Amino acid sequence: EGFAVVLAGHSLGGGVAALATWLLAPLVDPVCYTFGCAAMVEAPFARALRRRVVSVILHDDIIPRASAVNAKQLAFELRAFKKTWQRSYKDDWEAFSLRAQGIWAPRQRGGKEHDYRVGGGGSDVVVGIDNLNDAVVGGGGGGGG
């Protein structure tokens, strides 16, 4: 008498503390605080411990949600996704490929009006592209800077 039994734990240690709370309940009046407690028991047992155990869970923490029930639901959803992902992937890949071809495809330009000056310093080199496969290189006039 004159003391309180308080258990605490994090992750798997929180699960151990919650189970120890259940074991100690007939002897003393324990209270338990868990942080990110791993899923340890079925729902009816968890409801029975609710009066003695307080669990604090971060909204995105996967450990408290990694139960057998949730794993089964995830497997079900992955099987359903497996049946449809290839069609979606094919459509997405074709759309991406068409966009990529438009961005990176070389453009055929004819005539000398598409000459490009390359260089600097003492002399420039003029590169004229007559067709897609040929580049004509000739000496340019001085200029530069």
For residue 136, what pLDDT is reported?
A: 47
Tokens at 4, concatenated:
């309180």
pLDDT grade for 16, boundaries at 50, 70 and 90: very high
pLDDT for the residue 85:
79
Residue 142, classified by CB atoms within 10 Å of its CB into exposed (0-12), middle (13-18) or buried (19+), is exposed
The pLDDT tens digits of the residues spanning 54-102 come to 999 998 888 888 888 888 998 998 888 887 777 778 888 888 888 887 7
CA separation for the pair 54, 18 (Å, rounded)? 9
Whether residue 114 is predicted with pLDDT greater than 60 in this model: the reply is no
Q: What is the distance between the alpha carbons of residues 53 and 64, in angstroms, rounded to a whole number?
A: 14
Q: Which residue carries 């240690």 as its tokens?
A: 13
- Coil vs helix vs strand at 114: helix
- Helices vs. strands in the chain: H and E counts, helices first: 3, 6
pLDDT at 103: 72
